[in-house]
Structure 1
Amino acid sequence: MSKKKLQSFEDMFGKEMLEADEKEETAGVIELDIDILVPFKAHPFKLYEGQRLDDMVESIKELGIIIPIIVRPTDDGKYEILSGHNRVNAGKIAGLEKIPTVIKEDLTDDEAFLIVTETNLIQRSFTDLTHSERASVIASRHEAMKSQGVRSDLFNEIERLSKTDEIKDFGTSAPMGRRLEAREKVGKEYNLSKNSIARYLRISKLIKPFQSCIDEGKIPIRGGVDLSYLQEEEQQLVYSVFAEIKGAKIDMKKAELIRSASKNKELTRKIAAGIIQGKIKKKKKGRPSHFKLKNKIVDKFFTPKHKSKEIEEVIEKALALYFSQQEENNSDDMKGELIGE
């Protein structure tokens, strides 16, 4: 495996943007029975519905499937779809028995998943994706940017078969000392802040039901970030409780309490239910004990000309500024924590 550090998305997939002629576009395409095609085992994207699906079905009935799908063979004699889930679904509705296909052999799971995410991005805008789909794409690209030795022919073939004009540059050509880190490259590609990238990477660690809840607005993204720190078994437990409570929602405060209970090894079904139902709330901090400011501190900053009210106002402003700076520092420290690296 190559130890060359990836500099950009082009480095990973090759710099040549092929302008294939008709022969190249159809090379290696065969007809496969639609019944032996199975969805990608970790397909993160939702299939078309409604008018968009109806339009695709009508197009296939009239013109057939023009762009071949991409698959890889499985151990049981079937073929796993990497690119073309919507075409296959619409083809079945349209009554097709066979479908034009390109078979890719000897792909790693990472390479296969990269084909799945990239071909979906070619067909859709990133802004059209749901939060869970964005999380999956970002996690895939983030891992790809950190990986080494990924095959360079894959994306060129995806681009050719999908008949796109260009592939978005994923990185920069800056000198080594100025190259962006993987997270920053991903953020630059999608015009997202590093914090947003970090949150989406955390969302990708949630179980699918919780990701769906985020898409449906039942859980805010930042609440999902807190839940992502739970072990998978804990996430399953919390979701089972959540699903049993009619009209339940998990806001940021509840998610924070659930994460805290997990961290303290106190997370049970009863505790989870109490938090979700609002019966268990964050304890309010008690008031600090009364104290008197020492004269030597007052004398250090104030003169006898200052009245008591003036002194109180200055101290209040100074404290407000101090705690504001503390919050900013804590926020910066959490950037690395959100990624979980």
Structure 2
Amino acid sequence: MAVKRPEIHFESVEELLGVPQMQDGTELVKVRDIFPFKDHPFKVVDDEKMDELVESIRTNGVLTPVLIRPRSEGGYEMVSGHRRLHAAEKAGLEKIPSIIKEMSDDEAVIAMVDSNVQREEILPSERAWSFKMKMDAMKHQGRSDDSASGLEGPKLTVDKIGEESGFKGRQVKRYIRLTELIPSLLDLVDEKKITISMAVDMSYFNEEVQGWLLDYYKSNGKITLKQMAALKELQNLSNITKYTFTATLNGALPEGKGNGRVNLSERKLNKYFPARMTAKERERIIIELLEKWKAEKDNK
């Protein structure tokens, strides 16, 4: 009679790395079956902290399960744990411990925001879009005061969001305003080149004017609060021309000290003139434009 030999068990990558196995509602789900949350506002960056997380997962496994929800088209949508999932992939895991929970779209948005908004380092753009998404979800759920409306959100809604995230309602409104910025200006806020206060002011201008603000910043390296104040004081701002826009910002600059000489580098002039145009031709055109500007200014 043949002796039944014990079945040989080959350890998986997850077992070798110490990933928890089926604990208290936790299931091992294939990494390839998990899809990112739609319009996820939080960035997953391959930086030094990500490297540290990858190394930790290689050593200890994924200690905190991710939160996912089933998708109607198959697989799962990530709700909380995008960084852990990315790190697990980099560490070579095929499966990740997950808590699977049925959630509506609004419930998933709120859970996604609440699980990320308390992180130590959050970019202004991430906070802005997460607050906006949570506000919209709460409005869909009827958790807002319908007597007030608008982009900034009903008062009770923004106050509730602030209370749950450690901010005042007024601060939540200001962050939500940032979602009205064109992406390149919002990037400057993330890079701390434009303050949040100035960015909020910029958010009230239309996309065309915001584009001019971006161009002006790139050409001059900064925009001052005094310049923004002068721009906001303009009448009929919706019909402003780029000429008036530039003249307004330049006019709000402090008068320079010295002999009054103006130096225009060839690099700056090449932006407006053909490279082969002679210096004399450039000077003639500049004088003509200055004469036109002076005449218009004197006639106001």
Question: Fold-level match, TM-score > 0.5?
Answer: yes
Structure possessing the higher relative contact order (Cα contacts under 8 Å, 6 or more residues apart):
1
Q: Does 1:130 align with 2:123?
A: yes
Distance 1:257 1:59 in 2: 53
Tell me whether 1:63 sits opposite 2:60 in the alignment: yes
Q: Deviation at 1:43?
A: 1.8
Give deviations 1:21-64, integer Å, cap 9, x for gaps: x99963262412x2343332322223255432122111111222
Q: Cα 1:94–1:221, aligned 2, differ >3 Å: closer, same or farther? A: same
Q: Corresponding residue for 1:274?
A: 246
Aligned counterparts of 1:107 and 1:190: Cα–Cα separation in 2: 22
Pair 1:254–1:90, CA change in 2 (3 A): farther
| 2:205 maps to 1:230 | yes
Task: Count residues in correspondence.
Answer: 224
Distance (Å, rounded) in 2 between the aligned partners of 1:36 and 1:263: 54
Unaligned segments of structure 2, at least 5 residues: 1-19, 144-154, 255-300
**What is the Cα deviation at residue 117 of structure 1?**
1.0
Q: Does 1:264 align with 2:260?
A: no
The alpha-carbon distance between structure 1 residues 187 and 263, as it changes in their structure 2 partners (threshold 3 A), is farther
CA contact (8 A) 1:220 1:252 kept: no
SS in 1 for 2:98: strand
Matched-pair contact (CA < 8 Å) for 2:109–2:134: no
Aligned residue in 2 for 1:252 = 225
Question: Are 2:111 and 1:115 equivalent residues in the alignment?
Answer: yes
TM-score by length of 2: 0.58
Give the direction of change, closer, same or farther, for the CA distance of 1:267–1:84 in structure 2 (3 Å limit): farther
- Counterpart in 2 of 1:183? 158
Corresponding residue of 1:203? 178
Write the distance in 1 (CA, Å) between the matches of 2:85 and 2:252.
50
Q: In structure 2, what is the equivalent of residue 27 of structure 1?
A: 25
Identity of matched residues, %: 33
Once the 2 structures are TM-superposed, how far is the Cα of residue 101 of structure 1 from its aligned partner? Answer: 3.0
Deviations 1:69-96 (A, max 9, x none): 2234557655432211111111122122
Residue 191 of structure 2: which of 191, 216, 241 is its match? 216
Letter of the structure 2 residue corresponding to residue 200 of structure 1 = Y
1:1-341 correspondence to structure 2 within 5 Å: 26-27=24-25, 29-32=27-30, 34-47=31-44, 49-73=46-70, 77=74, 79-105=76-102, 107-108=104-105, 110-121=106-117, 124-125=119-120, 128-143=121-136, 146=139, 148=141, 181-190=156-165, 192-231=167-206, 233-234=207-208, 237-238=211-212, 241=215, 245-246=218-219, 248-256=221-229, 264-267=237-240, 270-271=242-243, 274=246, 278-279=249-250, 281=251
| TM-score of the aligned structures, taking structure 1 as reference length | 0.52
Unaligned runs of 5+ in 1: 1-21, 151-179, 285-341
CA distance in 2, matches of 1:41, 1:187: 23
SS at match of 1:70: strand
Is residue 69–residue 77 contact of structure 2 (8 Å, CA) maintained in 1?
Answer: yes
